[in-house]
């Protein structure tokens, strides 16, 4: 446990990623957590909503008007959110609300007013912060600004006010262009494996839809690369971000590997056309030439990406480095989210805590952080019986 200068009780949750198709049980559990605790200060540490879930929306949901409509729709579906937050304030509690990379529009006054209206609270009853919350030795922020794939330039609020796709980071655009269009997605972490293992997992998940998934992935990468080109021209990105130019996006999304796989498939097809005697009807290549041409591609596709060490866990590592800097500057406790990985680390200057994701029920329950009696701890809400 680490000492903090202010002994006021603070409850911190984050990364619920609420959208229209979220599991209703998550809101039930949040209500249960708040109901069973004395009302004090509640900090919602970013990504409470997933406003990048924009399936079917014009221009991938650009602009404040569409962000307001998504917030209103989510709160209309999950009425328990408003009920439990109203009860919290009625019992004397305080609410501090921070944006994350997937609900950056919470920085906008129009979105804040829509939240207050649907929850049934006045604007002065919720404290919206643009980037971080500080109280004596306690520093809380979502953490996405330390992740090149999810960093807004020059800050979250300014980028959100621009209201254009080129001002949003890679993580947001991947959700808007790709995740919203596929029936199901489970992050297996396979992008760090060999392409063969990636293909095997894709076949397991999508079966006959694999060609569509591969095309959609490549098409989405090109769309994001175009936005990166615009971001460079409009100065919506900086050198520290992945969106600083199209090549960075294509490199990060492993499009070189996708291109090699496509080339290998084409070579195999040409070789089979010759082997089966279909050269009169289809373009073909002598089978020996196809074997010689395809062998280098096949060999490269059996190797794991050379960028594995650079990209894997970069969000966790960068958040921890940033926390160390904040601790060295005088904070006693730094709390972040974003990584969906619960973590507690005692450093020389203080303590770094990551809340993990409240959307992850896990084996032990949903994680949250409590600061009280000059101590800080990571706790879990056990599953309901």
Say what the pLDDT of residue 256 is.
Answer: 78
The DSSP bridge pattern shows strands 138-141 and 333-336 to be parallel
Segments making up each domain of the chain, as ranges: 10-150+315-381, 166-310
Q: Are 14 and 46 in contact (CB under 8 A)?
A: yes
Does 305 have pLDDT greater than 90? no
Name the band, by pLDDT with cuts 50, 70 and 90, for residue 380: very high
Q: What percent of the chain has a predicted confidence (pLDDT) above 70?
A: 89
Does 7 have pLDDT greater than 70? no
What would the mean pLDDT of 209-223 be, rounded to a whole number? Answer: 87
Name the band, by pLDDT with cuts 50, 70 and 90, for residue 136: confident
From residue 327, give the alpha-carbon distance in Å to each of 47, 147, 228, 262.
Answer: 24, 19, 34, 48
Please tell me the distance from the alpha carbon of residue 216 to that of residue 61, in angstroms, as a whole number. 19
Q: What are the φ/ψ torsions at residue 172 (nearest 5 degrees)?
A: -65, -45
pLDDT digits (tens, 9 = 90+) for 44-78: 999 999 999 998 888 899 999 999 999 999 999 99
From residue 106, give the alpha-carbon distance in Å to each of 22, 24, 179, 319.
Answer: 19, 22, 21, 21
Say what the pLDDT of residue 148 is.
Answer: 95
For residue 22, give both structure tokens: 């979220």
Does 6 have pLDDT greater than 80? no
Please tell me the distance from the alpha carbon of residue 169 to that of residue 101, in angstroms, as a whole number. 8
What would the mean pLDDT of 212-234 be, rounded to a whole number? Answer: 93
Does 358 have pLDDT greater than 70? yes
List the beta bridge partners of residue 140: 133, 335
CATH fold, domain 10-150+315-381, is: Purple Acid Phosphatase; chain A, domain 2 (3.60.21)
Say what the pLDDT of residue 1 is.
Answer: 41
Say what the pLDDT of residue 2 is.
Answer: 44
Count how many residues are written for the chain.
385
Q: Are 303 and 247 in contact (CB under 8 A)?
A: no
What SS3 class is residue 128?
A: strand
Name the band, by pLDDT with cuts 50, 70 and 90, for residue 190: low
Q: What is the mean pLDDT of the chain?
A: 88
Please tell me the distance from the alpha carbon of residue 100 to that of residue 112, in angstroms, as a whole number. 14
Please tell me the distance from the alpha carbon of residue 191 to that of residue 173, in angstroms, as a whole number. 18
């Amino acid at each position: 446990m680490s000492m903090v200068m202010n002994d006021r009780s603070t409850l911190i949750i984050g990364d619920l990623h609420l959208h229209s198709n979220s599991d209703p049980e998550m809101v039930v559990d949040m209500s249960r957590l708040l109901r069973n605790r004395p009302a004090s200060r509640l900090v919602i540490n970013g990504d409470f909503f997933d406003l990048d879930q924009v399936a079917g929306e014009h221009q991938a949901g650009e602009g404040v008007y569409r962000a307001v409509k998504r917030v209103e729709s989510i709160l209309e579906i999950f009425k328990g959110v408003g009920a439990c937050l109203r009860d919290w304030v009625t019992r004397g509690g305080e609410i501090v609300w921070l944006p994350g990379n997937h609900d950056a529009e919470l920085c906008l006054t129009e979105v804040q007013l829509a939240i207050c209206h649907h929850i049934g609270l006045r604007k002065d009853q919720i404290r919206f912060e643009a980037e971080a919350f500080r109280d004596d030795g306690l520093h809380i922020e979502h953490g996405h600004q330390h992740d090149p794939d999810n960093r807004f330039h020059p800050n979250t609020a300014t980028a959100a006010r621009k209201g254009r796709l080129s001002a949003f980071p890679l993580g947001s655009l991947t959700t808007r262009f790709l995740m919203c269009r596929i029936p199901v997605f489970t992050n297996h972490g396979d992008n760090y494996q060999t392409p063969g293992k990636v293909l095997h997992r894709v076949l397991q998940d999508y079966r006959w839809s694999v060609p569509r998934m591969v095309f959609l992935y490549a098409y989405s990468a090109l769309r994001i690369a175009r936005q990166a080109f615009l971001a460079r021209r409009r100065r919506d990105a900086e050198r520290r971000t992945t969106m600083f130019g199209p090549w960075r996006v294509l490199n990060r999304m492993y499009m070189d590997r996708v291109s090699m796989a496509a080339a290998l498939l084409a070579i195999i097809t040409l070789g089979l056309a010759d082997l089966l005697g279909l050269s009169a009807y289809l373009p073909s290549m002598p089978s020996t030439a196809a074997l010689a041409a395809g062998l280098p591609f096949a060999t490269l596709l059996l190797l794991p990406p050379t960028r594995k060490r650079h990209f894997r866990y970069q969000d966790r590592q960068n958040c921890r480095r940033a926390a160390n800097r904040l601790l060295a500057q005088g904070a006693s406790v730094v709390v972040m989210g974003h990584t969906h990985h619960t973590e507690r680390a005692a450093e020389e200057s203080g303590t770094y805590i990551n809340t993990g994701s409240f959307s992850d029920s896990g084996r032990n329950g949903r994680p949250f952080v409590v600061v009280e009696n000059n101590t800080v701890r990571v706790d879990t809400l056990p599953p309901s019986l």
